[in-house]
Structure 1
Amino acid sequence: MSAPIGAGRTERATATWSALVAAACNHSRPAVRFGDLEWSGHELLDRAGGAAAWLESLGHTPGLALPALVASSADALALVIGGAGSGHPIAPLGVRMTPKELAAVVVATCSPVLVAQSEFAELARDVAELAGCRTAVVPPLTPRSWFPRSEPDDIAIVLHTSGTTGLPKPVPMCQWRLAARARVNGALCALDPESFYGGSAPFHHIAGLGNMSVALAAGALITGVPSFTVDGWRLLREWGITHTSMVPAMLEMLLASGEAHQESLRVLQYGGAPIRAATLSRIYQAMPGVRMLNMFGQTEGSPVSVLTPEEHQEAVAGRPELLGSVGRAAPGVELQIREPGPDGAGEVHARGDHLFAVDDDGWLATGDLGRIASDGYLYLLGRKHDMIIRGGENVHPLEVETVIISHPDVADAAVVGVPDARLGQTVVAFIVPARPGTVPDSDKLRTYVREQLSGFKVPVRWHTVDSLPRNPNGKLLRRSLGEDS
């Protein structure tokens, strides 16, 4: 086990997320704006009071998560705030999932009721029939005076993992840890009452409600679009957002469409994959003055590490290797590499007040493989279950992908292991060309990778594809590629 990297644990926080939101939204300025609907902070809290009263009327067991089919909207935020402060934590679910998939998640919550906004009422009925529960459609929320009744250990929100390798797993977020996350993330992103956060991730995701919960606690104005599209980005730009988050594949889409420009944007948070130096330079040209942050984390805890705006500027100025890392330990986080191999790589573990799915000693096992350089930078190598074992040698897909993507002929890449009778597994690469309609020369790519990595890590087969399969959150669906190889 390597030595811990980062700051030690602080004293346990006594503040609650609900109290932070109540204080931050105690104003008459705009707090939420979705389309033509705009509520002030006072109106949002009053609607949260109405939501709390309605949730109480359902006869639901206090403290038990309420599964909900809701999308980014003012009502959904009021429902979450009211639920968190009244002991009825909301667990938003992915509205693009099938009824069968949703029913399995609802059954696992043990909730006798499924909440849904009116536009998802039909889907809710189908799910409820399979899950053996009843539905409750969110009514117009009557304003009602409200102040949170929550304790630090109460559950505020429940989010689920994306479920790319099985049934989505619930991640209960208790009040004091969510408050700690709001403070850490809010400070890193420079969110304040003058900020305007615009989201495009699905509401049920850590990049959706997870980021909006931070913006709420900072007193920022909040808006959102149903999903990330170029048209949706144009709307966010028209509204004048100052803060947002996305994955690098979305940035590449904006650049390719010529729509990346955004003069009002102050902070752009990204994650999920490294960004290319050339892409970063083009983003700076399109978004003058924007501050870029790469935050590594997951639903179970985020941020674990951060590549700061200053380090992004260093990368452009002559240290592009920094972009291959996910930065150094986030404020208040200790990092460890457990059971490192000869190359220093092992599973990344983290400890901090703002991490949720931790063991009795406060450690989060991320499931990600990585190594920490002598200067403290964390380099990820992929998920444990994605590791390829070729002839007894470990190949980390993310390490190989990072090298491939740095080639100017490549826009995106994925590496998978496929069965091999002699070696156990062999390495296969899927390439999205930088210039649509072209086919990068595999021999040149093979030589390029071999110049930087050991021979056993170099892909033996190369496939050119138009795009890579990703879930709605931008996460690469590596298993789909394995099946097609």
Structure 2
Amino acid sequence: MTRAFNLADLFEIVVDAVPGHLALVAGATRLTFRELDERADRVAHHLAAAGVGPGDHVSILAYNRAEWIEAQIGAYKLRAVPVNVNYRYTADELAYVIADSESVALIGERSLIARLGGARAGLGHLRHVVVVEDGSDEDVPDAVRYEDALAAASTGRDYGERSGDDLYLLYTGGTTGMPKGVMWRSEDIFMSAMFGGNLMGDPVAAPEEMGGKALEGGVTTMVCAPMMHGAGMWVAWIALTSGSTLVLWTGRTFDTGAVLSAAVAEKAQSMLLVGDAMARPIADELAARPGAHDLSQLLVIGTGGAATSPDVKRRLHELIPSLLAVLDAFGGSETGASGQAVEPAADGSPRFMPRGADVAVLDESLRRIEPGSGAVGQLARTGRIPLGYWKDEAKTARTFVIGADGERWALQGDMGRVDADGSIILLGRGSLVINTGGEKVFVEEVEATLKTHPAVYDALVVGVPDERLGARVAAAVSLAGPASDPSGEAAAGATAGGVGADELIAHCRAVLAGFKVPREIRVVAEVQRSPAGKADYRWARSLYAPGGSGA
């Protein structure tokens, strides 16, 4: 059978090369490549018996666990399209994604499917539900138990030929709006987000090469990010298609001590985190308990979904002597992995070096901005980019555009400028720009500057209404020292842990233009983010609403 740059084909090539190698560690579950392949085959045959076929969509609703991986691979084997569903969503949000994706089958944990409640009745396309047991006793009617389904299904690989054109669909929530499905060709997502089978160089020329690379020996990779998000999914597939051992953090919350214990037990050589939300607690734990965690095997920490502050990177290098690099990956659901972080700009703004010439900053005429010009534009990628958004032609037309040179570009939404050396300085998302007195302020630029103060643990910057300026720059900041006012009531001039808002404002004024400097700073006990590190800007704005406390 001819093999394609198709995720199921690539996985099977690796299975055949290293069947007895440990493929997956997820809590107490340990599976070799052969065992994982057989369980995925059983998923595929069960779905096929239930009427699921090529092109049909299958929603997966679960925390990180072995069944998430099995279900995704099984769907791909069948040439069906797995749909990642965020387990943090409310019933209405869950129903929206399942309905919008037109999923005909749902595989998920009992308690999470039960959360749908009456909303399930409105899911007209959904005709088959498979329940993964999670210890709850909630009723999920008209469903098949996952293990019963697998026990009755075949392990055969009696599938037809697959294609690099088979669909990869990634639902992404972003910071605003309803979740949207980004459609990729399978071959393109492998090349753009999974490095084409070669992290440090040119992509492999043929699918069969992945078997030889697997025989060279992989890297034990621990993924702490959720599989339901692109960053976690992409790194997991880098491991699965390279013969590496994938170690999944399966805790319902990020338990720093337990994460490090798992990394030590499995001798993790690389670890994927979500920016400061995970990296900083790890640094704090290592500093608080010297010698308690033997991470001498750990060579690389990668982060996705959020950046890691320079001071956290420095501390990790000091605390983990074996560590060769802390790599912040830049990219997005619409662009794949676009590059790696380098030293921040003078004002603390994040800066990254593009992986290739297919990543650029475009001006308003959709022309490439020349390095060193100082002009600000929108980050974009050409070449292997998505087909568009699922069922949203209008948004597809706005995001995937034809540039002045005739190339098709994906606009990520981040604004930036190109430095003289070709690196790109990120200024923030265009949707979060604050217009204050006619001047534009990119919130992430100000956040980066605040985080260069040694006392700042985390920061979010927002625009709040102002009668004279239209909007003024404001911030919510938490400190690395003793906690501040948990209600968020402390305004400019207030102190916490010996550092006051006035000092932080002065720190910003030393490196930022006056109009970018926060006019108010609320020092709070904790800056609210999702467990995946996503900024909660709505909460930050609520601090400045009449009577707002951020609670």
Could you state the TM-score of these two structures normalised by the residue count of structure 1?
0.87
C-alpha contact 1:68 1:92 (8 A) present in aligned 2: yes
C-alpha contact 1:17 1:178 (8 A) present in aligned 2: no
C-alpha contact 1:33 1:222 (8 A) present in aligned 2: yes
Structure 1 residue 295 and structure 2 residue 329: aligned?
yes
**The one of 206, 231, 235 aligned to 1:207:** 231
C-alpha contact 2:351 2:426 (8 A) present in aligned 1: yes
Would the alpha carbon gap of residues 321 and 276 (structure 1) be closer, same or farther in structure 2, given more than 3 Å must change? farther
How far has the Cα of 1:372 moved from its partner? 1.1
- Structure 2 distance, partners of 1:43, 1:295, is 31
Would the alpha carbon gap of residues 187 and 331 (structure 1) be closer, same or farther in structure 2, given more than 3 Å must change? farther
How far has the Cα of 1:456 moved from its partner? 0.7
**The one of 460, 474, 478 aligned to 2:537:** 478
C-alpha contact 1:34 1:73 (8 A) present in aligned 2: yes
Structure 1 residue 74 and structure 2 residue 74: aligned?
no
- Opposite residue 62 of structure 1, the aligned amino acid is P
Structure 1 residue 220 and structure 2 residue 248: aligned?
no
C-alpha contact 2:257 2:285 (8 A) present in aligned 1: no
Structure 1 residue 253 and structure 2 residue 281: aligned?
yes
C-alpha contact 1:195 1:243 (8 A) present in aligned 2: yes
- Structure 2 distance, partners of 1:216, 1:189, is 17
SS at 2:103 equivalent: coil
C-alpha contact 1:99 1:123 (8 A) present in aligned 2: yes
How far has the Cα of 1:366 moved from its partner? 0.1
Q: Which residue of 2 aligns with 1:3?
A: none
Would the alpha carbon gap of residues 372 and 457 (structure 1) be closer, same or farther in structure 2, given more than 3 Å must change? same
C-alpha contact 2:263 2:295 (8 A) present in aligned 1: no
Q: Which residue of 1 aligns with 2:296?
A: 263
- Structure 2 distance, partners of 1:419, 1:483, is 12
C-alpha contact 1:337 1:371 (8 A) present in aligned 2: no
- Opposite residue 287 of structure 1, the aligned amino acid is I
What are the residue-to-residue correspondences of 1:100-139 with 2, within 5 Å? 100-118=92-110, 120-123=112-115, 126-132=118-124, 133-137=126-130, 139=146
SS at 2:533 equivalent: coil
Q: Which residue of 1 aligns with 2:155?
A: 144
C-alpha contact 2:374 2:419 (8 A) present in aligned 1: no
- Structure 2 distance, partners of 1:252, 1:449, is 22
Unaligned runs of 5+ in 1: 1-12
What are the residue-to-residue correspondences of 1:154-169 with 2, within 5 Å? 154-155=166-167, 157-169=168-180
- Structure 2 distance, partners of 1:38, 1:399, is 43
How far has the Cα of 1:396 moved from its partner? 0.8
**Can you list the C-alpha shifts for 1:105-149, whole angstroms capped at 9, x where unaligned?**
111112343332445442356542343444411522245122763
How far has the Cα of 1:302 moved from its partner? 2.0
What are the residue-to-residue correspondences of 1:331-370 with 2, within 5 Å? 331=356, 333-339=358-364, 343-353=374-384, 357=388, 358-359=400-401, 361-370=407-416
- Structure 1 distance, partners of 2:15, 2:337, is 24
- Structure 2 distance, partners of 1:98, 1:403, is 35
Structure 1 residue 428 and structure 2 residue 459: aligned?
no
SS at 2:231 equivalent: coil
Would the alpha carbon gap of residues 364 and 159 (structure 1) be closer, same or farther in structure 2, given more than 3 Å must change? same
SS at 1:164 equivalent: coil
C-alpha contact 1:203 1:209 (8 A) present in aligned 2: yes
- Structure 2 distance, partners of 1:369, 1:94, is 27
- Structure 1 distance, partners of 2:101, 2:24, is 29
- Opposite residue 255 of structure 2, the aligned amino acid is T
SS at 1:470 equivalent: coil
Would the alpha carbon gap of residues 88 and 69 (structure 1) be closer, same or farther in structure 2, given more than 3 Å must change? same
Structure 1 residue 237 and structure 2 residue 264: aligned?
yes
C-alpha contact 2:476 2:523 (8 A) present in aligned 1: yes
Would the alpha carbon gap of residues 297 and 127 (structure 1) be closer, same or farther in structure 2, given more than 3 Å must change? farther
How far has the Cα of 1:332 moved from its partner? 6.3
Q: Which residue of 1 aligns with 2:14?
A: 24
- Structure 2 distance, partners of 1:41, 1:202, is 21
C-alpha contact 1:335 1:349 (8 A) present in aligned 2: yes
CA RMSD of aligned residues (A): 2.7
How far has the Cα of 1:425 moved from its partner? 0.4
Q: Which residue of 2 aligns with 1:4?
A: none
How far has the Cα of 1:333 moved from its partner? 3.0
SS at 1:188 equivalent: coil
- Opposite residue 297 of structure 2, the aligned amino acid is S
- Structure 1 distance, partners of 2:332, 2:193, is 15
C-alpha contact 1:306 1:329 (8 A) present in aligned 2: yes
SS at 1:218 equivalent: coil
Q: Which residue of 2 aligns with 1:9?
A: none
C-alpha contact 1:67 1:90 (8 A) present in aligned 2: yes
Structure 1 residue 177 and structure 2 residue 188: aligned?
yes
Structure 1 residue 15 and structure 2 residue 1: aligned?
no
- Opposite residue 416 of structure 1, the aligned amino acid is V
C-alpha contact 2:222 2:263 (8 A) present in aligned 1: yes
Q: Which residue of 2 aligns with 1:7?
A: none
How far has the Cα of 1:65 moved from its partner? 1.8
Could you state the TM-score of these two structures normalised by the residue count of structure 2?
0.78
How far has the Cα of 1:158 moved from its partner? 2.1
- Structure 2 distance, partners of 1:183, 1:473, is 20
**Can you list the C-alpha shifts for 1:201-240, whole angstroms capped at 9, x where unaligned?**
2221112223212211112111212342214413233322
Unaligned runs of 5+ in 2: 132-145, 202-212, 389-399, 484-496, 545-551
How far has the Cα of 1:441 moved from its partner? 2.2
- Structure 2 distance, partners of 1:125, 1:146, is 36
Q: Which residue of 2 aligns with 1:8?
A: none
Task: Say which structure, 1 or 2, has more relative contact order (CA 8 Å, 6+ apart).
Answer: 1
**The one of 459, 468, 475 aligned to 2:527:** 468
How far has the Cα of 1:196 moved from its partner? 1.3
Of the structure 1 ranges 17-26 and 48-57, higher mean CA displacement relative to structure 2 is found in 17-26
SS at 2:531 equivalent: coil
**The one of 311, 327, 350 aligned to 2:352:** 327
SS at 1:59 equivalent: coil
How far has the Cα of 1:72 moved from its partner? 2.3
In our comparison, the structure showing a higher alpha carbon Rg is 2
Structure 1 residue 443 and structure 2 residue 436: aligned?
no
**Can you list the C-alpha shifts for 1:317-346, whole angstroms capped at 9, x where unaligned?**
xx8859743421114633132329995112
- Structure 1 distance, partners of 2:414, 2:158, is 40
Q: Which residue of 1 aligns with 2:339?
A: 305
Would the alpha carbon gap of residues 347 and 412 (structure 1) be closer, same or farther in structure 2, given more than 3 Å must change? same
How far has the Cα of 1:391 moved from its partner? 0.3
How far has the Cα of 1:162 moved from its partner? 2.5
- Structure 2 distance, partners of 1:183, 1:111, is 25
Of the structure 1 ranges 115-124 and 367-376, higher mean CA displacement relative to structure 2 is found in 115-124
